[in-house]
Structure 1
């Protein structure tokens, strides 16, 4: 795959070696920043970029030296969704398989973001539409550039939801608002989105990268196993009976309780000290 991926050595900072790759992965300490890198097309999702993003996310998910991830876009946009020129060519060439990319690429990308055993912060530096918006909602936390254009966009081109939006959007804003945003396909701002319940910090555009890095650094210094269990339990708790959730919480607590992070934090509390977490 053409993705440029971060080294897993012990250096404090690593950089992607090819700044023309469709996806860049840079390491700063325990934080990996994954950047969609087609700025001239507003990071529209070409086949090359989608394949590279699947590989990049799988790589940082498996890298135990990475304890938090930032997802962002190069240039003035986060991601404007599918590259429609390429999609039109796929429709003309083989309409029966033009949408295979949903199962092959979009769904694995969202699954990787949502289930990654470490926190993911979306640094939404500009326009965030369609599948790009789905990616942002699949992340755990978001930082939005004030005034950026957000939208679902699908019905505007005769399509329906993908990239998890049928689940994540109504959970964030409620079913009625989600129907409005999907069916009318109108654009909206981060200021509107946060007012509706899409959690995120809204900052001036020039401060997005810094704010996201600050949050990611805080998370990277936290109890990584506990974060992973919390992600799992919060996702499970959305649609499972209470009795099932209680059982899974017991399993999760026991798993966290066996970590050095928990033992060290209890000792620190008893000694009136600030705990230090090493992620294990």
Structure 2
């Protein structure tokens, strides 16, 4: 039997998804997409999950699409890449953004093509110092997908986004941090330790408030200032009635560490 394309662990509120095709640099196949979709749906329906950590097995994070999974022969009419976006990459990005808890991505090596943009759909990205990000689409006559054309200009500005997309040059983890593409670059031997420590922090945090923080920040670019202020008002009104808020205030007044339940 072949190994699963992803590995899923869920313990003490911390879920870990590992892309698991290390011999292919964790490149995407239809099977991987389907397994990943099922795993994310399972986590979304599980109220015990407080945080998700996404990473890759082996020496790379993800090399993007496995071209052998949709090979095109000379003389063929080609394949419908739009169908691939509709069925797999688009829903994957949307599902990660919609999760009601923080999503950490630990980029442990090369992140190319769709694999370079997948981390940008997560909430916080840590990258090993040896990791790199490459928008290889231009070398195949394609555009950056998996949200690339949306995320890149918003994170690094139009000039840098254009350079990344049109030239396909390798961006180091240190450069990605300087540009604001990711949260932090860390030494290789510290990557997973720091990622798990962050996951443990989120597993003890006020999850409902963090989910609302994600939602309001992601909504901001589409809103005017008055609209965003209204959203802040409505969100704060709901959070003010949460158990976590009451616990946070009580713990502060009692000078003790809060015991958040995510409710």
* Cα deviation, residue 273, structure 1: 2.2
Give TM-score scaled by structure 1 length.
Answer: 0.89
- 1:270 equivalent in structure 2: 253
CA gap of 1:77–1:176, structure 2 versus 1, over 3 A, is: same
* Cα deviation, residue 210, structure 1: 1.4
Q: What is the aligned counterpart of 1:225 among 190, 208, 219?
A: 208
| Contact 2:51 2:102 (C-alpha < 8 Å) held by counterparts | yes
CA gap of 1:69–1:184, structure 2 versus 1, over 3 A, is: same
CA gap of 1:93–1:264, structure 2 versus 1, over 3 A, is: farther
Q: What is the aligned counterpart of 2:92 among 87, 109, 112?
A: 109
Q: What is the aligned counterpart of 2:36 among 34, 53, 65?
A: 53
CA gap of 1:272–1:130, structure 2 versus 1, over 3 A, is: same
- 1:64 equivalent in structure 2: 47
Q: Report Cα offsets for 1:118-154 as digits up to 9, x if no partner.
A: 0000010111111111110111111111121211111
CA gap of 1:160–1:133, structure 2 versus 1, over 3 A, is: same
**2:177 paired with 1:194:** yes
Q: Distance in 1 between matches of 2:142 and 2:74?
A: 13
Give the 5 Å matches for 1:67-86: 67-86=50-69
CA gap of 1:91–1:192, structure 2 versus 1, over 3 A, is: farther
User: Where do 5+ consecutive residues of structure 1 fail to align?
Assistant: 1-17
- 2:151 equivalent in structure 1: 168
Give the 5 Å matches for 1:233-248: 233-248=216-231
* Cα deviation, residue 96, structure 1: 5.2
- 1:261 equivalent in structure 2: 244
- Cα RMSD over matched residues? 1.8
Q: Distance in 2 between matches of 1:256 and 1:76?
A: 42
* Cα deviation, residue 89, structure 1: 4.5
Q: Could you say what secondary structure the match of 2:71 adopts?
A: helix
* Cα deviation, residue 167, structure 1: 1.4
Q: How many residues align?
A: 263
Q: Could you say what secondary structure the match of 1:102 adopts?
A: helix
| Contact 1:26 1:32 (C-alpha < 8 Å) held by counterparts | yes
- 1:21 equivalent in structure 2: 4
Q: Distance in 2 between matches of 1:157 and 1:97?
A: 15
| Contact 2:64 2:114 (C-alpha < 8 Å) held by counterparts | yes
User: Where do 5+ consecutive residues of structure 2 fail to align?
Assistant: none
* Cα deviation, residue 94, structure 1: 6.5
CA gap of 1:116–1:90, structure 2 versus 1, over 3 A, is: farther
Give TM-score scaled by structure 2 length.
Answer: 0.95
Q: Report Cα offsets for 1:175-198 as digits up to 9, x if no partner.
A: 111111111111110001111112
* Cα deviation, residue 240, structure 1: 1.1
**2:119 paired with 1:136:** yes
